[in-house]
Structures are given as structure tokens and as C-alpha cells.
Amino acid sequence: DAGVTQSPTHLIKTRGQHVTLRCSPISGHKSVSWYQQVLGQGPQFIFQYYEKEERGRGNFPDRFSARQFPNYSSELNVNALLLGDSALYLCASSLAQQPYEQYFGPGTRLTVT
């Protein structure tokens, strides 16, 4: 079975631009979570979507938004990019809302210049 997939792999954007990151969960998984990992730090929770509804939100500004589609894939959108948004964005999927076993994708490396 395919694991969690994310696209694109790498992305370079300019301050003030908008970005959309995509994630496809493992087949059968209904929960998708997004994390931001700044270099040298642990991942920080951004959002969780379960059954197409937002079930959790971390301490991120409203510039960050996400949604989950009927096929359980998900998009993370970031508006008005700042230099500090440069990070590895990780998507994780799990069967249930509680992340008993959460499987991570390879991530999208976003660089804001």
C-alpha cells in the first residue's frame, strides 16, 4: 500500500505570496494532520481534519488554513508568506481522530525569500 504522499517536494516563494500544499493519506485513513517543522526543532501541530471537519488547531495565525476533501486528501494554505514560514511541512494520517498510530509523509520543504 502507498504511504502518505505530499506535493510538491520543494517550493520557493517570495514574501507576501500564497502557497498551497497537498497531502494524500494512506488508503482508508480518515484523519489528516499538518505540522510545521522549523530547522532544528520538533514538529509543531497546525491542524487536524477528521471526516472532513476541523477537529484541532494549533497556535498558528489565521494566515494558515486547511481543508479536507471527500476522498480524505487535504490542502494546507498559507497566505501572506513571511520569512519565518520557511520550514518543512509534514502531513500525517491516521485511521481515527485519536492519533494512535500516525504515519507521516516525506514533507514539503518551503523556502520563503
Partner 1 sequence: AQKVTQAQTEISVVEKEDVTLDCVYETRDTTYYLFWYKQPPSGELVFLIRRNSFDEQNEISGRYSWNFQKSTSSFNFTITASQVVDSAVYFCALNLYSSASKIIFGSGTRLSIRP
- For partner 1, the binding residues (CB under 8 A) are 31, 33, 40-45, 48, 50, 55-56, 58, 88, 90, 92, 97-107, 109
CB-wise, 42 or 84, nearer to partner 1? 42
CB-wise, 75 or 104, nearer to partner 1? 104
Rounded Cα–Cα distance for residues 69 and 90 (Å) = 18
CB of residue 16 to partner 1, shortest distance in Å: 27
CB of residue 23 to partner 1, shortest distance in Å: 13
Task: Classify residue 28 as left (phi > 0), alpha (psi -120 to 50) or beta.
Answer: left
In sequence order, what are the residues at sequence separation of 6 or more whose Cβ sits closer than 8 angstroms to the Cβ of residue 71?
none
CB of residue 73 to partner 1, shortest distance in Å: 18
CB-wise, 17 or 111, nearer to partner 1? 111
Rounded Cα–Cα distance for residues 75 and 54 (Å) = 12
CB of residue 52 to partner 1, shortest distance in Å: 14
